[in-house]
Amino acid sequence: MAQTGWSGVRERVIAVVEAERGTQGWDSSQYPVFEPVLTAAEITEVEAQYGVELPDEYRTFLAEVGAGGPGPALELASLRRVDGTWGWVWAGCAPMVLDPSGPFVETEEWADRQMATLRAAGYEPTTRDDDDDYLDDYRKAFGDAGESNWFEERVRGAILISDNGCGMSGWLIIVGPHRGELRDRDCAGNPPFEPYVDACGNRHTFRTWYLEWLEQREREAR
């Protein structure tokens, strides 16, 4: 059975952050390294709001390490309750929410998913655009809501989990056959979602992804 606990990880991250600050000659920060952990009741509230069960590794991270903080590549999105609604806060933006209405669609299946959506709306797709797939068709089929519909459908079943800098981001799959895996998205107009993999080519889960980053950071700090 895969491990889901995070014993000692919070302390290790804090230690490496403090070591790096010392190397730079900076004083300790007045701000905590991690967001507070979530209680069992709060996690249950998140899951009830979305009608899902969070992947075990992420669920236990929220309970044992924090609801946000350092992580690959810059920081993790923070899970917070804002105006009574739980969402993932990233880079000072408004909270992002999970659409749990369907599974996350892999990049190679995305064009087929778009065609099915357009046809269900009574619109026959035209020519696929290499940069934006069927975005123009979405605009024609759904009017002013076309672009937002296109984006929301593309990230359905996943949450924005990490800020990777320069518009790049990491996503944690919550719904679908690849639940618990992560996907990397570059900053192009319509980039593919690529699996995060380890040195052997194995797909990362939240735990292996986070620990690989921490171990690398510890090596660099030493």
Verify that 176 and 87 share a domain, yes or no.
Answer: yes
Instruction: Tell me the whole-structure pTM to 2 decimals.
Output: 0.90
Verify that 18 and 46 share a domain, yes or no.
Answer: yes
Can you read off the two tokens belonging to residue 175? Answer: 């719904």
With beta carbons less than 8 A apart as the criterion, state whether 180 and 205 touch: yes
DSSP annotation of 124: -
SS3 49: helix
17/26: higher pLDDT: 17
Q: Are strands 85-89 and 158-165 parallel, antiparallel or unpaired?
A: unpaired
pLDDT digits (tens, 9 = 90+) for 172-215: 999 999 999 999 988 766 778 999 999 999 999 999 999 999 99
Can you read off the two tokens belonging to residue 127? Answer: 């020519």
Verify that 99 and 115 share a domain, yes or no.
Answer: no
**Total structural domains in the chain?**
2
CATH code of the domain in which 183 resides: 3.40.1580.10
pLDDT digits (tens, 9 = 90+) for 127-151: 787 777 888 899 999 999 988 888 8
**How far, in Å, CA of 148 to CA of 153, rounded?**
8
Instruction: Give the residue numbers spanning the domain of 201.
Output: 9-104+155-221
Verify that 49 and 133 share a domain, yes or no.
Answer: no
Q: Does the residue 3 lie in any domain?
A: no
Partners of 76 in beta bridges:
69, 162
Verify that 92 and 118 share a domain, yes or no.
Answer: no
Confidence at residue 26, expressed as pLDDT on a 0 to 100 scale:
67
